[in-house]
Chain A
Amino acid sequence: MESELGAVVDALPGLVWTAFPDGQIDYLNQRWSDYTGLGVEESRGRGWQASVHPEDLPRLLAGWRADCASRGPVETPVRLRAPAGTYRWFLFRAHPSADASGQLVKWCGLSTDIDERMQAEEALRASERRFRSIVDGLPILLSTATPDGELDQANRHYLEYFGTTLEELKAREAVHSVHPDDRARVLPVRKAAIDAGHSYEIECRRRRADGVYRWFCLRAFPLRDARGRVALWYRLQIDIEEQKKAERALQLTIDSIPTLVATYRPDGSRIFVNQTWREYSGLSLETASEAERIGFIDPHDAARVNPQWQNSLATGVPFQAEVRLRRADGEYRWHLVHRVAARDESGTIVRWYSVSADIEERKRAEQKAAEAERELQRTIDHIPVLVATYRADGSRLYINKRVREYTDRTAAEDWERTVHPDDIELAESKWRACVASGEQLELEFRVRMADGTYRWHFTRRVPLRDAAGKIIRWYGIGYDIEDRKRAEEELRRSEAFLAKAQRLSLTGSFSFHSATEEFTWSEELYRIFDFQPGVRVTLQLIRSRYHPEDRHVMEETAGGIRRGAAEFDYEHRLLMPDGSIKWVHVVAQASSRDKDGRGLEYFGAVQDVTQRRLAEAALDKARSELVHVTRVMSLGALTASIAHEINQPLAGIITNASTCLRMLAADPPNVKGALETARRTIRDGNRAADVITRLRALFSKKAAATETVDLNEATREVLALVFSDLLRNRVFLRVEIDHDHPLHVAGDRVQLQQVILNLVRNASDAMRDVNDRPRHLLVKVERDKEGGARLIVKDAGVGLDPQTAGRLFDAFYTTKSDGMGIGLSVSRSIIESHGGKLWAEANDSPGTTFSFSLPRLAASETDDRAGEAALTPDVRANTT
């Protein structure tokens, strides 16, 4: 049985043995012996230990200690040496065998070859180690996380970056070390992705162990189980600091370039704008989308270019346009906008890139240039000059608007056809000659106007040559010289007319240069002096014609010229060759110094006044005859005046005398009445005699009876006499006379009173027809500045007619229907015979003021009362 059992044990595919807790083996099967090459006996006791790998033996023996038995079976992998010296892994499984008391007595064991397995396991472990080292060696932060995002594993870089252990990190919050500025952005994205279970990618800054933040790109992918639930998150964090730096540098560059940069989505919506754009528009990245709403692009321009932009968006054709863009201050400036599409590998448009360059200055310059050109064109079109250009061959290239408007429209296209038929041949031949020779053309010819009339024109055409001197263009101008032509014609005519006028008026003209003594004589002057026309006129020659008695005139004139006299005006006689005498009147004026300032130039006229001289002589004779006639006539007229003066008292005399006679002839005679009438007769007789006396005094030119007259009193007497008349005429009389002090003058009281009366009557009469204003009359007597007396009679009448005012004091001049026209004339004679003056002035207000002034009374006369008394009888004597 034992051997049978032994055969079984030996057949088992393993090494079977029993061992004591102290490590001595008491049994081992044949297979052990076969494997180790040690005999059974040789292996018993502690002999077997030589086959066990020294590194494994202690562990094996330790497991067999008695105290290990309580733990049940033990398993230990151990390397056993084969006879060839190689080791193979065996799994030593030992089962404790106890006695009845529970005391370990033996370990029953089976060692099975697990070398294959161990080899495989080892290979796997090596592979895992390699993988781990790779993961740890990757220059990225790797980690895994639980489905709800809690950190699970992290690679070495991860731990090193944050400078801590996995356990420490696990204790931290979910998203640690993220830059505070980025947290708000990162957390929601991450949370949303975890909740939804899809991958996410975020860029953010994370703080390194040394406190420095670096940019990372965070990516997480979920690993799902068979049921599709998230089992694990793989998280990858790539340091993009350098990339970000480059981006920032690029950003800085983009922001710094002085051009508006923007990017657009394929649908045309704006994504990004650079700093320049933002500064220009005054908008931020966030508000850039409002640009269109606030009219960033000038609305007119937007409407204009939008179809083009839409077309570009649809087709991918680059967009280019000039638009006005609104600057932050509201000013629109012209920009050249250029947009190009960026495509991905498949050719799909992913972005539009736009740059806008400020071309305001260029635009302005263009506008200015355009304006200048328009202005030039306008100028050319509107200057009152005909402008044309011609090709080198003389054919016309361009005409300005003026030409088209001005010339005959039907012929405007053919310049030459507008030329007067009489001028065309000359014009064309000259033009051909100029084109051939290259000399400039100057020509006067008649041009047909739009209305068909011809007007004289002047044209000048000059060639423009290239550098080689070849004519490439002709420039021509033309202008109307009709007026000049007419003026020339007019001048010719007026010269002819002047010659005729000189002939008719017997007036010659000359000029004379004082320095050179050169004369220019008109035709008529030659005729007057009877010189051969064209003969050289010299002072000597002129002198030969002077009347011998008038030669001194010539000498005086010569002296005047030497002194530089400004003008001459003299008459002298010429003794003509036939012995006749001519009177000439010479007038000359110095015009100006000549250019050299050496002498004066005189212009003058000489008139043959012989006929006038003769006429004047005849006139003188006639005048003296006329004076006589006038005198006679004056006397006749005066007679009427005298008759009137005399007839008045005479009528009284005769009537009274008749009455007297009848009264005396009555029965009984009315003596009392007759005496009264007789007394009146005598009085009227005296009155008539007074008139005669005064008239005699006037006409005999004898000095008037001189007495001392108080002009104040004399005036008052006159006014008392006429007061009722003035009242009847509704004249308001104002008197300004000093009643307390007499104002003495020497004169004839009656005459002076006649004058005063005359002036007052005239004034009253002048207001007879005045009904629209008060008939004011002022009579004023005052002392004048020279100490004489002045009397003023100022009326508000019809006033003086300036045309006839000069004749006021003429005898027989009157404006009154019933006037004799003798009063003022006589009055003036009276005042002048008193050494005074009588005059009239128009008032500022309506009416006239007549005044007379009388000289101051000599001192000796002032108090000469005796003189007055002595004179009076003489006067009386004259009247009786």
Chain B
Amino acid sequence: MKESRPLLSVVDDDESVRESLPDLLQEFGFAVETFASAEEFLASGRIGETRCLILDIAMPGMSGPDLQRELAQRHHKVPIVFITAHADQSVIPRLIEQGAVACLRKPFSDTALRAALDAALASP
């Protein structure tokens, strides 16, 4: 039964996000997998099932935007919701331009997250 829920993947180097976000998303009714880095996600084999990717922008190693480009190159059209703790918003328009559904600044409210996920899952 759990398997029928749509899978969301969370990629964030911050442990507290990986800890807290799955509980909330499960409350929303999604299945959740967390990854501490983009590389870990790419290696997980869960890309195909992932309905939406919640992705941190700044991470050691491969960054969020790097992963976005990598997925595009691999023709994985998974919707992405970026999350970032940086105040600098200049990168956001470019990320949206490149196909991100939304970009949420930490801390974000559960309603904002919900709205972003709804938008992501509604996209073709």
Cross-chain contact of A677 among B23, B40, B88, B108 (Cβ < 8 A): B23
A728 and B85 contacting across the interface, CB-CB below 8 Å: no
The CB with the most chain B CB atoms within 10 A, among A639, A648, A677, is that of: A648
B61 and A658 contacting across the interface, CB-CB below 8 Å: no
Cross-chain contact of A818 among B20, B36, B63, B108 (Cβ < 8 A): B63
B40 and A659 contacting across the interface, CB-CB below 8 Å: no
A647 and B85 contacting across the interface, CB-CB below 8 Å: yes
**Smallest Cβ-Cβ distance to A642: which chain B residue:** B87
Cross-chain contact of B106 among A651, A659, A728, A761 (Cβ < 8 A): A651
A655 and B58 contacting across the interface, CB-CB below 8 Å: no
Q: Does A673 contact B (CB under 8 A)?
A: yes
A654 and B23 contacting across the interface, CB-CB below 8 Å: no
Q: Does A768 contact B (CB under 8 A)?
A: yes
CB distance from A633 to the nearest CB of B (A): 15
Residues of A within 8 A of B124 (CB): none
Chain A 646-671 interface residues, beta-carbon cutoff 8 Å to B? 647-656, 658-659, 662-663, 666
B14 and A652 contacting across the interface, CB-CB below 8 Å: yes
**Smallest Cβ-Cβ distance to A677: which chain B residue:** B23
B19 and A680 contacting across the interface, CB-CB below 8 Å: yes
B110 and A724 contacting across the interface, CB-CB below 8 Å: no
Q: Does A684 contact B (CB under 8 A)?
A: yes
CA distance A656 to B106 in the complex (A): 13
**Smallest Cβ-Cβ distance to A673: which chain B residue:** B23
Residues of B within 8 A of A768 (CB): 61
CA distance A781 to B95 in the complex (A): 42
Q: Does B70 contact A (CB under 8 A)?
A: no
Residues of A within 8 A of B17 (CB): 648, 651-652, 655
CA distance A240 to B108 in the complex (A): 155
Q: Does A256 contact B (CB under 8 A)?
A: no
Q: Does A290 contact B (CB under 8 A)?
A: no
CA distance A640 to B58 in the complex (A): 14
Cross-chain contact of B21 among A655, A728, A729 (Cβ < 8 A): A655
Residues of B within 8 A of A26 (CB): none
Chain A 704-733 interface residues, beta-carbon cutoff 8 Å to B? 724-725, 728-729
B27 and A662 contacting across the interface, CB-CB below 8 Å: yes
Q: Does B77 contact A (CB under 8 A)?
A: no
**Smallest Cβ-Cβ distance to A654: which chain B residue:** B107
A644 and B85 contacting across the interface, CB-CB below 8 Å: yes
CB distance from A764 to the nearest CB of B (A): 6
The 0/1 profile, CB within 8 Å of A marked 1, for residues 88-111 of chain B is 100000000000000001111110
**Smallest Cβ-Cβ distance to B15: which chain A residue:** A652
A655 and B20 contacting across the interface, CB-CB below 8 Å: yes
CB distance from A681 to the nearest CB of B (A): 8
Residues of A within 8 A of B13 (CB): 725
Q: Does B44 contact A (CB under 8 A)?
A: no
Cross-chain contact of B88 among A640, A663, A683 (Cβ < 8 A): A640
Residues of B within 8 A of A761 (CB): 60
The 0/1 profile, CB within 8 Å of A marked 1, for residues 4-26 of chain B is 00000000011011011101100
B87 and A728 contacting across the interface, CB-CB below 8 Å: no
Cross-chain contact of B61 among A643, A651, A684, A729 (Cβ < 8 A): A729
A662 and B24 contacting across the interface, CB-CB below 8 Å: yes
Residues of B within 8 A of A75 (CB): none
Residues of A within 8 A of B108 (CB): 651, 654-655
The 0/1 profile, CB within 8 Å of A marked 1, for residues 48-89 of chain B is 000000000110110100000000000000000001011110
Chain A 619-652 interface residues, beta-carbon cutoff 8 Å to B? 639-640, 643-644, 647-652
CB distance from A846 to the nearest CB of B (A): 20
Residues of B within 8 A of A666 (CB): 27
Q: Does A136 contact B (CB under 8 A)?
A: no
CA distance A650 to B20 in the complex (A): 11
Measured as residues with beta carbon below 8 angstroms from the partner, the interface class of chain B is 20 to 34
Chain A contributes a number of interface residues (CB within 8 A of B) equal to 36
Cross-chain contact of B27 among A640, A649, A663, A728 (Cβ < 8 A): A663
**Smallest Cβ-Cβ distance to B43: which chain A residue:** A728
Q: A655-B107, A659-B27, A666-B27 are in contact. Are A677 and B60 (CB under 8 A)?
A: no
B36 and A651 contacting across the interface, CB-CB below 8 Å: no
Residues of A within 8 A of B109 (CB): 654, 658
Residues of B within 8 A of A647 (CB): 85-87, 105-107
Cross-chain contact of A658 among B63, B88, B106, B110 (Cβ < 8 A): B110
The CB with the most chain B CB atoms within 10 A, among A650, A652, A677, is that of: A652
CA distance A653 to B105 in the complex (A): 14
Residues of A within 8 A of B27 (CB): 659, 662-663, 666
Q: Does A10 contact B (CB under 8 A)?
A: no
Q: Does A571 contact B (CB under 8 A)?
A: no
**Smallest Cβ-Cβ distance to B57: which chain A residue:** A818
The 0/1 profile, CB within 8 Å of B marked 1, for residues 95-138 of chain A is 00000000000000000000000000000000000000000000
Residues of B within 8 A of A764 (CB): 60
The 0/1 profile, CB within 8 Å of B marked 1, for residues 677-688 of chain A is 100100110010
Q: Does B37 contact A (CB under 8 A)?
A: yes
CB distance from A760 to the nearest CB of B (A): 11
CB distance from B119 to the nearest CB of A (A): 18
**Smallest Cβ-Cβ distance to A676: which chain B residue:** B23
Q: Does A765 contact B (CB under 8 A)?
A: yes
Cross-chain contact of A659 among B14, B23, B86 (Cβ < 8 A): B23
CB distance from B75 to the nearest CB of A (A): 25
The CB with the most chain A CB atoms within 10 A, among B24, B63, B108, B110, is that of: B24
Q: A650-B107, A652-B19, A818-B58 are in contact. Are A728 and B39 (CB under 8 A)?
A: yes
B60 and A729 contacting across the interface, CB-CB below 8 Å: yes
B16 and A728 contacting across the interface, CB-CB below 8 Å: no
B24 and A680 contacting across the interface, CB-CB below 8 Å: no
The CB with the most chain A CB atoms within 10 A, among B37, B40, B87, is that of: B87
Residues of A within 8 A of B40 (CB): 728
CB distance from A818 to the nearest CB of B (A): 5
The CB with the most chain B CB atoms within 10 A, among A649, A655, A666, is that of: A655
Residues of A within 8 A of B39 (CB): 728
A680 and B16 contacting across the interface, CB-CB below 8 Å: yes
CA distance A326 to B109 in the complex (A): 122
Q: A644-B85, A651-B83, A653-B107 are in contact. Are A725 and B60 (CB under 8 A)?
A: yes
The 4 closest A-B pairs by CB, nearest first: A652-B16, A651-B106, A658-B110, A647-B85
Instruction: For the A-B complex with A647-B106, A652-B17, A655-B20 known, give 13 more contacts whose Cβ atoms are closer than 8 Å.
Output: A643-B86, A648-B14, A650-B107, A651-B83, A651-B85, A651-B107, A652-B19, A654-B108, A654-B110, A655-B110, A656-B20, A659-B24, A662-B27
Residues of chain A whose beta carbon lies under 8 Å from any beta carbon of chain B: 639-640, 643-644, 647-656, 658-659, 662-663, 666, 673, 676-677, 680, 683-684, 687, 724-725, 728-729, 761, 764-765, 768, 817-818
Residues of chain B whose beta carbon lies under 8 Å from any beta carbon of chain A: 13-14, 16-17, 19-21, 23-24, 27, 36-37, 39-40, 57-58, 60-61, 63, 83, 85-88, 105-110
What are 13 A-B pairs at a CB distance below 8 A? A643-B87, A644-B86, A648-B17, A651-B108, A653-B107, A655-B17, A655-B21, A683-B16, A724-B36, A725-B36, A728-B61, A764-B60, A818-B58
